């Protein structure tokens, strides 16, 4: 307490107090008294005021220039954005035209089976009874341990992987599905299910969980066949081992869109070999 009292009573150091008293005694404290000192102080104040004034004037002059440049930049951005939107619209129109031509080509070359060819190739939208399969990551995606994926190169977690979706889709095809789509993305015979980090890509388009798989077919029979298949048992094992959430239900009617991109390939029968070499060989053997 005595220390605190001393600090409060003598807040100013004695040395500072003595120096202040000496300056007051010799008249050096306060404002300058000599003419030279007053002129120096005035010159300093004038210089400081000049610097502040010049800075304010320069800022005021450059402000309209900066504002104009900003407006020009905004106008350029708007113009480029409009041009990009127009190009994107043109691309969509051209893509739609190309897809329509591909579908017509499939129907023409398919003959009497044009509808079937278009269906199997994914060129047309389909609707009918089927199965709805929903697959989602586990709530805790850091689970580990043994299971059906322990020998793979991926970490054993509760996250759905691309190979899991590959097995599910292949299992549906083998169980009798006539058409399959994942999150509205129609699959064809040339579709690829791949991974990019933790994301699943279908034909290079990323999917977001939960993954909804729709398959057209005999709903009850397709559901039973899939769940009894090896791929259905694989999915069940994932659920038991990693708590991956799944549900399978038969649907009276599901709708699948047409594939957004088709690759049309045609094949021709190979001509029979009727050259002279074959005739000479025949003669030799007779």
Q: What is the mean pLDDT of each run of 10 residues along the chain (286 residues)?
A: 65 66 62 68 84 80 76 89 90 81 68 62 83 88 47 61 92 92 88 87 88 90 91 91 89 86 65 53 38
pLDDT at res. 130: 92
pLDDT at site 144: 45
* Residue linked to tokens 């129109």: 93
Q: CA geometry: angle at 156 spanning 152 and 240, to 5°?
A: 110
CATH of domain 126-256: 3.30.70.1880
User: Does the model's pTM come out above 0.95?
Assistant: no
Q: Domain segments of the chain: what residues?
A: 13-124, 126-256
Q: What is the pLDDT of residue 139?
A: 82
pLDDT, position 14: 67
């Amino acid at each position: 307490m005595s220390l605190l009292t001393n600090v409060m009573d003598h807040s100013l150091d004695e040395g500072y107090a003595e120096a202040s008293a000496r300056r007051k005694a010799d008249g050096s404290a306060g404002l300058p008294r000599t003419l030279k000192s007053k002129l120096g102080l005035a010159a300093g104040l004038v210089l400081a005021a000049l610097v502040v004034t010049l800075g304010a004037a320069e800022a005021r002059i450059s402000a309209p220039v900066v504002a104009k440049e900003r407006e020009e930049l905004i106008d350029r951005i708007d113009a480029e954005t409009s041009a990009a939107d127009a190009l994107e619209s043109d691309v969509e129109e051209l893509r739609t035209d190309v897809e329509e031509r591909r579908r017509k080509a499939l129907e023409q070359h398919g003959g009497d089976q044009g509808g079937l060819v278009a269906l199997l190739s994914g060129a047309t939208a389909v609707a009918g009874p089927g199965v709805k399969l929903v697959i989602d990551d586990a709530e805790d995606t850091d689970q580990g341990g043994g299971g059906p994926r322990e020998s793979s190169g991926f970490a054993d977690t509760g996250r759905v992987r691309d190979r899991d979706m590959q097995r599910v889709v292949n299992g549906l095809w083998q169980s009798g599905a006539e058409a399959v789509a994942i999150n509205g993305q129609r699959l064809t015979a040339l579709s690829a299910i791949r991974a990019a980090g933790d994301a699943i890509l279908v034909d290079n388009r990323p999917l977001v969980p939960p993954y909804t798989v729709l398959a057209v077919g005999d709903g009850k029979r397709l559901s039973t066949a899939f769940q009894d298949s090896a791929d259905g048992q694989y999915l069940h094992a994932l659920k038991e081992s990693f708590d991956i959430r799944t549900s399978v239900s038969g649907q009276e009617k599901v709708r699948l869109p047409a594939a957004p991109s088709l690759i049309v390939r045609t094949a021709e029968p190979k001509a029979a070999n009727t050259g002279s070499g074959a005739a000479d060989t025949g003669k030799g053997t007779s």
